[in-house]
Amino acid sequence: MTQSIITTTLTPAQFAAARALASAHFHLWGGVPEGTYDLDAIRAWSESENAGDSFPGIEAPEMDGSNIVHTTGTGRLTWTVERDGDVTLQIFRPAQAGENAPLEVARVQVINDNPAQFEPEMGLEVVIHTSSVVDPRDPSFSIHPDLRDDLLFERHVKALVRPLVALITANAPRFSGERYDAQGEATPEYQAYREEIIQPAIENANIYLQHLYEKALPDPSLQVLSEWYLDTRYYPENAHILREEKGYVLVGEQYYVIGYGGAFPVESERVAVHAALLLKRSLSMPLIEAVRQAILGHGYRP
């Protein structure tokens, strides 16, 4: 009986891509210094960083043979990072009545093919998987007949933006200063960083995903939330609608935190409750900052 050999040392490309994804999803090991390719060294660094702290974190990549794999807490997003730096992003929807397993509704591959380095600065080579032929001569599409993209919704496409932005900015300078001031407002330095680094990456990610956006079904519940948010822009007296009750909603299997930034999906009710409490305590705190602090567990009291 053969056994899968578990890799203990990452390649530079694999490390760069996987660390970017880990950092974007607040894994503890996502802050490990550049060049820490040995898994034992990554774990040791994470343990030292977490010593005496009050919240757990993912301290090292999960390996499946020579590949790094991860599935988010909701099961919606899965990524696989190969040794040559190729990345596969998969989106699943929960199993419904009569279904045996979650259904894969989207798959995107980022091709790197160079284990020595991950080079998003040259532009990502993105391959969109689809269940039907788009253009058989177009290398940016790949046919995957079993993909259930007939059940693809806008929220599924949006779930691919964060990991793509992470990969696009994998080698960009990391922001190390204060992100928000005491009033919860973005500092000028962080705002400048977002405008220079993050916002262009978001725009590029949405360009890569354009075909999926065109194919996706609309999210009726999110349209309602969006209308609430837009309404508050023109009728500020209605802003309390987004702050009443719990400050979060459950739509199907997905929790959303509601705030002046609209609606943001989170992985659990615990995170949703925590973020909603933060928003109630600090009315000026940006929605995304409340979600970030909730995920990290800062100040959480059950």
pLDDT at residue 51, rounded to an integer:
62
pLDDT-derived band of residue 299, with 50, 70 and 90 as boundaries? Answer: very low
Question: Are 59 and 47 within 8 A, CB to CB?
Answer: yes
% of the chain surpassing 70 pLDDT: 81
- What are the strands of the beta sheet with 77-81, ordered from one edge? 62-64, 67-71, 77-81, 87-93, 103-111, 125-130, 141-143
43-73 pLDDT tens trace: 999 988 876 554 567 899 999 999 999 998 8
- Lookup result for tokens 């009986």: 1
Q: What is the pLDDT of residue 260?
A: 63
pLDDT at 263: 76
Q: What is the rounded distance in angstroms from the CA atom of residue 176 to the CA atom of residue 57?
A: 20
pLDDT at residue 278 is higher than 70: yes
Instruction: For residue 239, give both structure tokens.
Output: 């802003």
Beta carbons within 8 Å of 37's beta carbon, 6+ residues apart: 9, 10, 11, 12, 15
Give me the pLDDT at residue 106, please. Answer: 96
Q: Give the span between the Cα atoms of 71 and 165, in whole angstroms.
A: 18
Q: Is the pLDDT of residue 98 over 80?
A: no
Closest-CA residue to 64 (of 30, 18, 113): 18
What are all long-range contacts of 129-138, with beta carbons under 8 Å and residues at least 24 apart? 130/211, 130/215, 134/211
The pLDDT value given to residue 275: 83
Where is average pLDDT lowest: 22-31, 272-281, 286-295?
272-281
| Long-range pairs, 217-223, Cβ under 8 A, ≥24 | 217/151, 217/152, 217/153, 217/154, 218/153, 218/154, 219/153, 219/154, 219/155, 221/249, 221/251, 222/154, 222/155, 222/251, 222/256, 222/263
pLDDT exceeds 90 at position 107: yes
**245-272 pLDDT tens trace:** 447 777 767 788 877 656 788 888 778 8
Q: pLDDT grade, residue 29 (50/70/90)?
A: very high
Residue 242 has pLDDT above 50, yes or no: no
pLDDT for 268: 82
DSSP β-ladder status, 254-259 and 248-251: antiparallel
Distance of alpha carbon 100 from alpha carbon 97, whole angstroms: 8
The tens digit of pLDDT for each residue in 114-143 reads 899 998 987 889 999 999 877 767 788 998
Question: pLDDT at residue 290 above 80?
Answer: yes
The per-residue pLDDT for 208 is 95
Residue 241 pLDDT greater than 80, yes or no: no
Highest mean pLDDT among 2-16, 192-206, 257-271: 192-206
Q: Which of 274, 241, 276, 244 is nearest to 257 (CA)?
A: 276
